[in-house]
Amino acid sequence: MLTQGQPTPEVVDRIRDIPIYRTSAGRGHFPVLDKPEIARGFPDNWMTPRLAAALESGEAEYVLSTGTNHARMQIIRPPYFLLNSYYRLWSEHPDIAFTWEQGCRRVSLTTVLATEHVARVNAKKRGTRPDPVPALDERRLDARTVYLNLRLDPALWERHEVERMIGEIRDEQRAHPQGLYHLDCSAHHLAHLVLKAKQWGLWDDFPPPASIIHAYEYTPATVRRFLVRHFACPVIDLFGSTELGYLYYSDRTGRYHPYLDDMGVELIPVHPGSAIHSLIVTSVRNPYMPLIRYRSGDCVRTADGTPDPDRIVRFCGREKELLTTAHGPVSQGDLDDRVGEVAPEVFLHQLHVPDEGEREALLVYTTFDGTPQPGRSAQLAAAVADLTGLSCRAEHRTHIPVGKSGKYAWLARDGR
């Protein structure tokens, strides 16, 4: 797929007629492809007779990348491209393929935006508008997958919502001959559901899943440990994106493995000498919008700090969210490591950084049991100061709001 960072001749032959790549193919050198280049002139910069025919027939479609705290990007892909990538990986994963083979239903607990998207698609098929509170059947993506969440901020779920979701999980479980189901989730959403169920005496009613995949956003180490402690089944992480599909998966111990069919990966330090690397992907998995040396926007660390993609041990957040410090760039994963080491009882945390010229940062955090940790606050503040070089104080909060995307931001540049 790649030779010394450049696509192989076989790959070049497959993409040379796509307008965005014609100049590079003629020169024999492909620069790193950034998201603004993809958007510039879209879709004409991707249009070929083959793509036009695929769009006309429905074999290709326009979609938006999921986005988190950044602008969404329009892309072209086959229908259900990401879902098919998920299903294939699930069916081949050494720890959880048995739940696929057993025909387990997939219950998805993630952002309300994902639920609303499914409801909109189903309503469009019927020629109607989606119901403001869609029934369970309106939230079915296909015969195998149903979505649960109907609220933006899972911390604000009320008892009747938790009872509804647990009841819907139970219904999906009972539909299987052996009472098995697969739980797909954002790790934060599942942790909130567990905490709410325990708080209201509903935990005994929560049907245990046969397998769990958490994806969609970065999962803090403390949250993963919380889930592993509460569920006896394999808990698997997937790494991927709307435009690429899934690239890596963890095993049940948390170790990552590549899943790079029709893909190649290279790593470039985010700054000279940095051990944090940008993930650069060459992929022809999507035949209608192949991405050549595409900067995904994700950051990784390797076992030895070298740019060797075979030694990736950590996906540590988004490149746009790196914090520049006197000690070098700091990623979400770097802060997460410090927090997890100092205070394993922390559930959510968010670092508020000061304007230029000010030096005090604020780390706000919640705990799994909801109680303040006065002794921990000083330790957390010291850990942040050591990591960033900024003076810091830490404060316990009862609530950290979720972002408008339904995902949590680890860093807030809010002028404190």
Low-confidence residues in the chain, pLDDT < 70:
66-71, 356-358, 414-416
- Cα dihedral 81, 223, 317, 280 sign: negative
What kind and span of H or E run contains 118? Answer: helix 112-126
pLDDT of residue 416: 44
> In Å, how far from its chain's centre is CA 351?
20
Q: How far is CA 20 from CA 7, 59, 321, in A?
A: 15, 21, 28
178 CB-contact burial (10 Å; exposed 0-12 / middle 13-18 / buried 19+): exposed
**13 CB-near residues (< 8 Å, 6+ apart):** none
pLDDT of residue 413: 84
Distance (Å, rounded) from C-alpha 17 to C-alpha 21?
A: 7
- In this structure, the chain runs to a length of 416
User: At which residue do the structure tokens 């002028």 appear?
Assistant: 415
Token reading at 349: 């945390």
Strand 245-250 to 277-283 pairing: unpaired
CA atoms within a 13 Å half-sphere pointing along the CA-CB vector of 9? 0
DSSP state of 372: -
Is the backbone peptide bond immediately before 43 cis, with ω within 30 degrees of 0? yes
pLDDT of residue 69: 44
Q: How far is CA 223 from CA 80, 227, 269, 404, in A?
A: 29, 6, 28, 21
Token reading at 292: 């050549």
Strand 346-353 to 360-367 pairing: antiparallel
Distance (Å, rounded) from C-alpha 46 to C-alpha 76?
A: 9
Distance (Å, rounded) from C-alpha 390 to C-alpha 135?
A: 49
Q: How would you list the strands of the sheet with 291-302, edge to edge?
A: 263-269, 277-283, 291-302, 312-318
Token reading at 333: 């994963």
pLDDT of residue 359: 73
Q: To the nearest 10°, the Cα dihedral for 12, 14, 15, 16?
A: 60
pLDDT of residue 1: 86
pLDDT of residue 374: 84
Contact 186, 111 (CB under 8 A): yes
Q: How far is CA 225 from CA 230, 235, 236, 336, 377, in A?
A: 9, 10, 12, 13, 21
DSSP state of 91: H
Distance (Å, rounded) from C-alpha 255 to C-alpha 276?
A: 18
- Rg of the chain (C-alpha set): 22
pLDDT of residue 356: 67
Token reading at 397: 């909060």
Beta-bridge partner residues of 236 = 213
pLDDT of residue 350: 98
Contact 332, 300 (CB under 8 A): no
Token reading at 414: 């809010």
What beta strand segments (E) does 344-401 contain?
Answer: 346-353, 360-367, 391-396
163 CB-contact burial (10 Å; exposed 0-12 / middle 13-18 / buried 19+): middle
